[in-house]
Copies of this chain bind each other. A is one copy, B any other.
Amino acid sequence: MSTVLVTGHKNPDTDSIASAIVYAYLKNELGVHAQPVRLGEVNKETAYALDYFQVEAPVFADENVQQGVEELILVDHNEAQQSIDARENFNVIEVIDHHRIANFETMAPLYYRAEPVGCTATILLKLFKENNVDIPKDLAGLMMSAIISDSLLFKSPTCTDEDVQAAKELASIADTNLESYGLNMLKAGADMSDKTADDLLTIDAKTFDAGANKLEIAQVNTVDVEDVLKSKDLVSDRMDEIIREKQLSVFIFVITDIINSDSTIVVRGDDSDKVECAFDISLHDDTAVLKGVVSRKKQIAPVLMKEFSTKEKV
Protein backbone atom coordinates (compact mmCIF):
# COMPACT_ATOMS: atom_id res chain seq x y z
CA MET A 1 0.00 0.00 0.00
CA SER A 2 1.40 3.41 -0.91
CA THR A 3 2.04 5.92 1.85
CA VAL A 4 0.03 9.11 2.31
CA LEU A 5 1.90 12.00 3.96
CA VAL A 6 0.02 14.05 6.55
CA THR A 7 1.48 17.55 6.86
CA GLY A 8 0.82 20.82 8.64
CA HIS A 9 2.14 24.19 7.45
CA LYS A 10 5.66 25.56 7.08
CA ASN A 11 7.15 27.19 10.17
CA PRO A 12 5.05 24.68 12.14
CA ASP A 13 3.33 25.50 15.42
CA THR A 14 2.00 23.04 18.00
CA ASP A 15 -1.32 22.55 16.16
CA SER A 16 0.42 21.72 12.87
CA ILE A 17 2.73 19.17 14.48
CA ALA A 18 0.15 17.64 16.82
CA SER A 19 -2.58 17.44 14.19
CA ALA A 20 -0.27 15.73 11.69
CA ILE A 21 0.68 13.08 14.26
CA VAL A 22 -2.87 12.59 15.54
CA TYR A 23 -4.64 12.50 12.17
CA ALA A 24 -2.06 10.09 10.76
CA TYR A 25 -2.84 7.83 13.74
CA LEU A 26 -6.59 8.02 13.03
CA LYS A 27 -6.09 7.27 9.32
CA ASN A 28 -3.94 4.24 10.16
CA GLU A 29 -6.65 3.00 12.51
CA LEU A 30 -9.03 3.33 9.54
CA GLY A 31 -6.75 1.29 7.28
CA VAL A 32 -4.83 4.03 5.44
CA HIS A 33 -1.04 3.90 5.53
CA ALA A 34 -0.40 7.47 6.64
CA GLN A 35 2.84 9.06 7.82
CA PRO A 36 3.02 12.39 9.68
CA VAL A 37 5.70 14.83 8.47
CA ARG A 38 6.80 18.37 9.32
CA LEU A 39 7.86 21.24 7.06
CA GLY A 40 10.22 22.95 9.51
CA GLU A 41 11.89 22.88 12.92
CA VAL A 42 9.91 21.95 16.01
CA ASN A 43 9.63 25.06 18.22
CA LYS A 44 10.26 25.11 21.96
CA GLU A 45 6.61 25.02 22.92
CA THR A 46 5.90 21.99 20.73
CA ALA A 47 9.08 20.29 21.97
CA TYR A 48 7.80 20.71 25.54
CA ALA A 49 4.47 19.04 24.64
CA LEU A 50 6.13 16.17 22.72
CA ASP A 51 8.56 15.57 25.57
CA TYR A 52 5.85 15.74 28.25
CA PHE A 53 3.65 13.17 26.51
CA GLN A 54 6.61 11.14 25.23
CA VAL A 55 5.69 11.32 21.54
CA GLU A 56 8.29 11.51 18.79
CA ALA A 57 8.30 14.48 16.41
CA PRO A 58 7.31 13.72 12.80
CA VAL A 59 10.18 13.39 10.33
CA PHE A 60 11.12 16.36 8.16
CA ALA A 61 9.55 16.01 4.70
CA ASP A 62 12.79 15.83 2.73
CA GLU A 63 13.31 14.27 -0.71
CA ASN A 64 13.80 10.79 0.72
CA VAL A 65 10.55 10.93 2.65
CA GLN A 66 8.70 12.24 -0.41
CA GLN A 67 10.14 9.48 -2.62
CA GLY A 68 7.34 7.49 -4.27
CA VAL A 69 4.61 9.40 -2.44
CA GLU A 70 1.64 10.50 -4.54
CA GLU A 71 -0.95 11.56 -2.01
CA LEU A 72 -1.08 14.24 0.67
CA ILE A 73 -3.39 15.07 3.53
CA LEU A 74 -3.16 18.68 4.73
CA VAL A 75 -3.89 19.67 8.32
CA ASP A 76 -4.05 23.20 9.78
CA HIS A 77 -3.58 24.97 6.42
CA ASN A 78 -4.63 24.95 2.79
CA GLU A 79 -2.91 27.88 1.06
CA ALA A 80 -0.18 26.84 -1.40
CA GLN A 81 2.45 29.29 -0.12
CA GLN A 82 2.19 27.81 3.40
CA SER A 83 2.38 24.23 2.13
CA ILE A 84 4.91 21.69 0.93
CA ASP A 85 7.02 22.88 -2.03
CA ALA A 86 5.88 21.70 -5.47
CA ARG A 87 2.53 20.63 -4.05
CA GLU A 88 1.20 20.41 -7.60
CA ASN A 89 3.16 17.16 -7.99
CA PHE A 90 0.94 15.52 -5.35
CA ASN A 91 -2.71 14.65 -5.16
CA VAL A 92 -4.31 16.29 -2.12
CA ILE A 93 -6.93 13.79 -0.95
CA GLU A 94 -8.00 15.42 2.32
CA VAL A 95 -7.82 18.71 4.18
CA ILE A 96 -8.65 19.26 7.88
CA ASP A 97 -8.36 22.96 8.68
CA HIS A 98 -9.72 25.98 10.53
CA HIS A 99 -8.49 28.81 8.28
CA ARG A 100 -9.97 30.73 5.36
CA ILE A 101 -9.72 28.98 1.97
CA ALA A 102 -7.44 30.57 -0.65
CA ASN A 103 -4.83 29.53 -3.20
CA PHE A 104 -6.23 26.03 -3.15
CA GLU A 105 -7.50 24.00 -6.10
CA THR A 106 -7.90 20.31 -6.90
CA MET A 107 -8.58 18.32 -10.05
CA ALA A 108 -10.79 15.76 -8.30
CA PRO A 109 -13.34 15.67 -5.47
CA LEU A 110 -11.79 15.26 -2.01
CA TYR A 111 -12.62 15.16 1.67
CA TYR A 112 -12.40 18.75 2.93
CA ARG A 113 -13.35 19.50 6.50
CA ALA A 114 -12.97 23.06 7.68
CA GLU A 115 -14.74 24.57 10.65
CA PRO A 116 -14.53 28.12 12.04
CA VAL A 117 -13.08 27.04 15.39
CA GLY A 118 -9.84 28.03 17.10
CA CYS A 119 -7.81 24.89 16.46
CA THR A 120 -7.54 21.92 14.08
CA ALA A 121 -7.37 19.53 17.04
CA THR A 122 -10.91 20.53 18.02
CA ILE A 123 -12.12 19.22 14.65
CA LEU A 124 -10.00 16.08 14.99
CA LEU A 125 -11.75 15.24 18.27
CA LYS A 126 -15.03 15.16 16.33
CA LEU A 127 -13.53 12.92 13.65
CA PHE A 128 -12.42 10.37 16.25
CA LYS A 129 -15.98 10.31 17.60
CA GLU A 130 -17.58 10.11 14.15
CA ASN A 131 -15.35 7.14 13.34
CA ASN A 132 -15.75 5.50 16.76
CA VAL A 133 -12.01 5.39 17.38
CA ASP A 134 -10.61 5.86 20.90
CA ILE A 135 -7.95 8.51 21.44
CA PRO A 136 -4.79 7.22 23.16
CA LYS A 137 -3.81 9.16 26.27
CA ASP A 138 -0.60 10.62 24.81
CA LEU A 139 -2.32 11.83 21.65
CA ALA A 140 -5.13 13.39 23.68
CA GLY A 141 -2.36 15.29 25.50
CA LEU A 142 -0.98 16.59 22.20
CA MET A 143 -4.43 17.65 20.98
CA MET A 144 -5.04 19.47 24.26
CA SER A 145 -1.63 21.16 23.82
CA ALA A 146 -2.60 22.33 20.32
CA ILE A 147 -5.79 23.96 21.62
CA ILE A 148 -3.92 25.64 24.50
CA SER A 149 -1.35 26.92 21.99
CA ASP A 150 -3.77 28.29 19.39
CA SER A 151 -6.05 29.83 22.03
CA LEU A 152 -3.32 31.09 24.43
CA LEU A 153 -5.10 29.14 27.17
CA PHE A 154 -8.55 30.27 25.93
CA LYS A 155 -7.68 33.98 26.06
CA SER A 156 -7.54 34.55 22.28
CA PRO A 157 -10.72 35.89 20.61
CA THR A 158 -10.30 33.09 18.04
CA CYS A 159 -11.19 30.59 20.79
CA THR A 160 -14.75 29.19 20.66
CA ASP A 161 -16.84 27.34 23.23
CA GLU A 162 -16.18 24.18 21.24
CA ASP A 163 -12.42 24.62 21.70
CA VAL A 164 -12.81 25.03 25.47
CA GLN A 165 -15.06 21.97 25.75
CA ALA A 166 -12.72 19.90 23.55
CA ALA A 167 -9.67 20.88 25.62
CA LYS A 168 -11.45 19.90 28.85
CA GLU A 169 -12.48 16.54 27.42
CA LEU A 170 -8.95 15.88 26.15
CA ALA A 171 -7.39 16.93 29.47
CA SER A 172 -9.57 14.36 31.15
CA ILE A 173 -8.43 11.60 28.74
CA ALA A 174 -4.80 12.74 29.13
CA ASP A 175 -5.26 12.92 32.90
CA THR A 176 -3.52 16.30 32.95
CA ASN A 177 -4.27 19.59 34.73
CA LEU A 178 -5.21 21.93 31.91
CA GLU A 179 -4.30 25.23 33.59
CA SER A 180 -0.96 24.34 35.17
CA TYR A 181 0.26 22.22 32.25
CA GLY A 182 -0.95 24.89 29.82
CA LEU A 183 0.88 27.73 31.52
CA ASN A 184 4.10 25.70 31.70
CA MET A 185 3.84 24.79 28.03
CA LEU A 186 3.21 28.40 26.97
CA LYS A 187 6.11 29.56 29.14
CA ALA A 188 8.41 27.01 27.52
CA GLY A 189 7.47 28.41 24.12
CA ALA A 190 7.74 31.98 25.32
CA ASP A 191 11.37 31.77 26.36
CA MET A 192 12.99 34.41 24.15
CA SER A 193 16.26 34.64 26.07
CA ASP A 194 18.40 33.07 23.33
CA LYS A 195 16.80 34.88 20.39
CA THR A 196 18.64 37.39 18.20
CA ALA A 197 16.91 40.53 16.88
CA ASP A 198 16.49 38.76 13.56
CA ASP A 199 14.98 35.70 15.27
CA LEU A 200 12.43 37.85 17.09
CA LEU A 201 11.32 39.47 13.84
CA THR A 202 11.00 36.21 11.86
CA ILE A 203 9.66 33.63 14.36
CA ASP A 204 6.14 34.50 13.24
CA ALA A 205 5.99 37.31 10.67
CA LYS A 206 3.36 38.02 8.04
CA THR A 207 3.19 40.59 5.25
CA PHE A 208 -0.10 42.27 4.39
CA ASP A 209 -1.12 44.31 1.36
CA ALA A 210 -3.51 47.19 2.07
CA GLY A 211 -4.22 49.32 -0.98
CA ALA A 212 -0.84 50.69 -2.10
CA ASN A 213 0.66 49.96 1.31
CA LYS A 214 2.66 46.99 2.45
CA LEU A 215 2.65 46.19 6.17
CA GLU A 216 4.70 43.68 8.12
CA ILE A 217 3.47 42.39 11.46
CA ALA A 218 5.79 40.15 13.49
CA GLN A 219 4.64 38.62 16.75
CA VAL A 220 6.25 36.84 19.72
CA ASN A 221 4.61 35.46 22.86
CA THR A 222 6.39 35.96 26.16
CA VAL A 223 5.96 35.94 29.92
CA ASP A 224 8.50 38.79 30.28
CA VAL A 225 7.93 41.75 27.96
CA GLU A 226 10.71 43.80 29.56
CA ASP A 227 13.21 41.06 28.76
CA VAL A 228 12.29 41.18 25.07
CA LEU A 229 12.38 45.01 25.10
CA LYS A 230 16.05 44.88 26.17
CA SER A 231 16.75 44.12 22.48
CA LYS A 232 14.66 47.10 21.32
CA ASP A 233 17.53 49.11 19.78
CA LEU A 234 18.89 46.15 17.83
CA VAL A 235 15.38 45.13 16.82
CA SER A 236 14.55 48.66 15.63
CA ASP A 237 17.67 48.82 13.48
CA ARG A 238 16.80 45.50 11.89
CA MET A 239 13.20 46.65 11.36
CA ASP A 240 14.46 49.71 9.45
CA GLU A 241 16.59 47.47 7.23
CA ILE A 242 13.63 45.21 6.47
CA ILE A 243 11.43 48.28 5.77
CA ARG A 244 13.93 49.38 3.13
CA GLU A 245 14.37 45.89 1.66
CA LYS A 246 10.64 45.15 1.40
CA GLN A 247 9.53 48.77 0.85
CA LEU A 248 7.13 48.65 3.75
CA SER A 249 4.88 51.52 4.85
CA VAL A 250 5.17 50.32 8.39
CA PHE A 251 6.58 47.45 10.46
CA ILE A 252 4.82 46.48 13.70
CA PHE A 253 6.59 44.17 16.15
CA VAL A 254 4.04 42.75 18.57
CA ILE A 255 5.24 41.41 21.95
CA THR A 256 2.33 39.55 23.51
CA ASP A 257 2.24 39.04 27.28
CA ILE A 258 0.56 35.64 27.65
CA ILE A 259 0.07 36.07 31.40
CA ASN A 260 -1.72 39.44 31.33
CA SER A 261 -3.15 39.09 27.79
CA ASP A 262 -1.86 42.46 26.60
CA SER A 263 0.51 43.31 23.77
CA THR A 264 3.31 45.84 23.57
CA ILE A 265 3.99 47.05 20.04
CA VAL A 266 7.12 48.54 18.56
CA VAL A 267 6.37 50.51 15.40
CA ARG A 268 8.82 51.72 12.73
CA GLY A 269 8.25 53.26 9.31
CA ASP A 270 7.00 56.48 7.73
CA ASP A 271 3.34 55.70 8.43
CA SER A 272 3.61 55.11 12.17
CA ASP A 273 1.04 57.89 12.73
CA LYS A 274 -1.58 55.77 11.00
CA VAL A 275 -0.98 53.00 13.52
CA GLU A 276 -1.60 55.56 16.29
CA CYS A 277 -4.78 56.60 14.52
CA ALA A 278 -5.99 53.01 13.99
CA PHE A 279 -5.67 52.04 17.64
CA ASP A 280 -6.27 55.54 19.11
CA ILE A 281 -2.94 55.46 20.94
CA SER A 282 0.18 57.59 21.24
CA LEU A 283 3.56 56.00 20.59
CA HIS A 284 6.40 56.90 23.00
CA ASP A 285 9.83 55.89 21.78
CA ASP A 286 7.98 53.98 18.99
CA THR A 287 6.24 51.91 21.66
CA ALA A 288 2.72 51.51 23.06
CA VAL A 289 0.67 48.96 24.98
CA LEU A 290 -2.52 47.53 23.45
CA LYS A 291 -4.70 46.47 26.39
CA GLY A 292 -6.49 43.13 25.95
CA VAL A 293 -5.02 42.56 22.50
CA VAL A 294 -3.45 39.14 21.80
CA SER A 295 -4.63 38.12 18.32
CA ARG A 296 -2.93 39.42 15.17
CA LYS A 297 -5.60 37.69 13.07
CA LYS A 298 -8.62 39.15 14.84
CA GLN A 299 -7.46 42.27 16.71
CA ILE A 300 -4.48 43.75 14.89
CA ALA A 301 -4.43 42.96 11.16
CA PRO A 302 -8.09 43.86 10.41
CA VAL A 303 -7.80 47.23 12.26
CA LEU A 304 -4.65 48.16 10.34
CA MET A 305 -5.97 46.84 7.01
CA LYS A 306 -8.99 49.12 7.37
CA GLU A 307 -6.91 52.18 8.29
CA PHE A 308 -4.34 51.67 5.52
CA SER A 309 -6.86 50.71 2.85
CA THR A 310 -9.08 53.75 3.31
CA LYS A 311 -6.27 56.29 3.52
CA GLU A 312 -4.00 55.67 0.56
CA LYS A 313 -0.35 56.57 0.75
CA VAL A 314 0.25 59.89 -1.06
Interface residues of A (CB under 8 A from B): 98-116, 130
Contact = CB atoms under 8 A, between A and B. Distances in A.
24 contacts: A98-B109, A99-B109, A100-B105, A100-B106, A100-B107, A100-B108, A100-B109, A100-B110, A101-B101, A101-B104, A101-B105, A101-B106, A102-B106, A103-B105, A108-B116, A109-B114, A110-B114, A111-B115, A112-B112, A112-B113, A112-B114, A113-B113, A113-B114, A130-B130
Dominant SS among interface residues on chain A: loop
**How many identical subunits does the complex contain?**
2
Nearest to A79: B105
A259 B114 CA distance: 39
Nearest to A107: B100
A312 to B, nearest CB: 20
Contacts of A100: 105-110
A110 B116 contact: yes
Contacts of A107: 100
Given A101-B101, A130-B130, A116 B106 contact: no
